[in-house]
Amino acid sequence: MNMLQLYLIVGVAVFLLALHGLMMTTDAIRRLIAVNLMGAGTFIVMVALAGRVSPPDPVLHALVVTGLVVAISATAFALRLITASSVAEPTRQPPAEQADNMAKDKTP
Amino acid sequence: MTSALVSLSLPFMVALLLIAAGQRLGLRTAGMMVIASGCLSLTAAWFALMDVAAANQAILINLGGWENGLAIRLRLSPLSGLLLVFTAFMHVLIGLYAAFSRQGVPRDFWPLSSFLHGSLAALWLSADLFNLYITPELLGLAAVAMVALAGKKAYKPAANYLLLSLVASLFYLFGVALLYGRYGSLDVLMLASQTQSDLVTRIALLLMTAGLMLKAALWPLHLWLPAAHANAPTAVSALLSGLVVKGPLFILWMLWSEVAPTDLAQQIGPLLAFAGIIALVAGGLSAMRSAYIKTLVAYSTVAQLGYAMMALGLLLTWQLPQLHIALWLFVIAHGLAKATLFLAAGEMQATLGTKRISGLRGANANSAGSHVCICGGWRQPDRSATKRRVSGKVGVAGAAAQ
């Protein structure tokens, strides 16, 4: 088994483990980390495939860099959404008009 | 092609301008700018459609003048021209609703809607697999941000939507990496002449299909759609159901009808058609059982996507060119009808102050206009479905005659 095959197997294994983790957990932050690990698995496979020719294929490297940019911005956005949605409701009695709006909101 | 590029870049420019201007522009001015740019983009898209109709074949352009294989290649086919016009038209209509409805929209709706428009236009024009990974990603981010506009109660569905859309893109990206490793090309047209039905190609296509089905909310990967679409503000729901889910469907269609070798496409066709039929039944049943107006409309989207999926499956199984036209006519008709339906449902919900269907009793008296829209909206998919079925039957008869 050469290095290329080893890296490919590692990449696929990381992808599958992360997928398993994603399906087995309910906590939003853990799921987000699992998604990032899936991304890492994909990128390992891509970088490994780039090494199949010499000199290494620059197109795949460019794709990985673009993929990382997408992953990091989406992760930041997801973290903000998750933290914003889990902040506890304010306990203070809201003013009358707001209370009215909130009652409307609560009807599912 | 120039006019297509204008139609693509205008919305992006306006979106960036609005984000840069921030609070300095009034809400009404921002809305008017987006609607005006939508109209200009619509005009440009119309000229692009006329161009490609006159040329009678797809127009290709290599961005930056690089040679084939290195350049990002854009393709303006008659279908992309039509979809450009459709997208711009829908954005203008929904923009007008958002600007003049009593409920109003938050300020951030405007740059995001422009951004969504640009991403969709880029998607219709893309002809290489990596561009087709980036554009749905842009589309997904804009769509998630728009769902979150509804306020705190929508954050959780929005976060779920984002996670699922990321997972779907990764499946797709894994498939793209495998295809590139096998054939050394990302260009759809170059791949089309090279692909063979071997194991790597099969695995890659299956991974990409799973990712795209999740993104397009095709059965059995549709469960995120009702929560996301029903929780969004009304104008956003209309955009999501009318346009956004059609993007991944377009890629799926391109993947199987162009990139995949014919014998593989014929093998997957019946499976897709079967999933489509189940989506029709399951989506319809869930819609009947749902107690809320918007959830009902969202489940109806799942069912209608089942129709599209069935058409795609049959198209692949029988390799009938008539069904291409039927599929896209159906998609456009559904987009128009579903947008109308969501707007009417949202308007009734706001007028009557209830989200429940049971609260609609006596709705006729208060909002006759919305009611007419709803009736019209329901009717339209039926009619186009009949059209689709008819052309499907004509196709079958033709095949039998041969």
- Chain B: give the shortest CA distance to residue A41, in Å: 9
Q: Which residue has the higher pLDDT, A6 or B220?
A: A6
Interface of A with B (CB under 8 A): 15, 19, 22, 28, 31-32, 35, 38-39, 42, 45-46, 49, 52, 59-60, 63, 66-67, 70-71, 73-74, 77-78, 81-82, 84-85, 104-105, 107-108
pLDDT at residue B286 in the model: 84
Flag whether the pTM goes above 0.90.
no
Contact B177 A46 (CB under 8 A): yes
Compute the distance between CA of residue A106 and CA of residue A108 in angstroms, rounded to an integer: 6
**B228 against A108, higher pLDDT:** B228
Q: In the structure, what pLDDT confidence band is assigned to residue B175 with cuts at 50, 70 and 90?
A: very high
**Which residues are B351's β-sheet partners?**
none
State whether residue A57 is helix, strand or coil: coil
pLDDT in the model for residue A19: 92
Over range B289-296, report the average pLDDT: 80
Query: If you average pLDDT over every residue of chain B, what do you get?
Result: 81
Predicted ipTM beyond 0.90: no
Chain B, residues 324-353, CB within 8 A of chain A, namely 353
How many CB atoms are located within 10 Å of the residue B154 CB? 24
Contact A74 B137 (CB under 8 A): yes
Q: Which residue has the higher pLDDT, B167 or B377?
A: B167
pLDDT value of residue B135: 92
What is the reported pLDDT for B361? 55
pLDDT tens track for A13-25: 999 999 999 888 8
DSSP B309-321: HHHHHHHHHHT-H
For the beta carbon of residue B345, count every other beta carbon within 10 angstroms.
Answer: 27
Tell me if chain A has a CB within 8 Å of the CB of B66: no
- What residues in A contact B187, CB-CB < 8 Å? none
- pLDDT (tens digit, 9 = 90+) per residue, A32-85? 999 999 999 999 999 998 888 878 888 888 889 999 999 999 999 999 988 888
> Which comes out higher in pLDDT, residue B175 or B232?
B175
pLDDT band at B123 (very low <50, low <70, confident <90, very high): very high
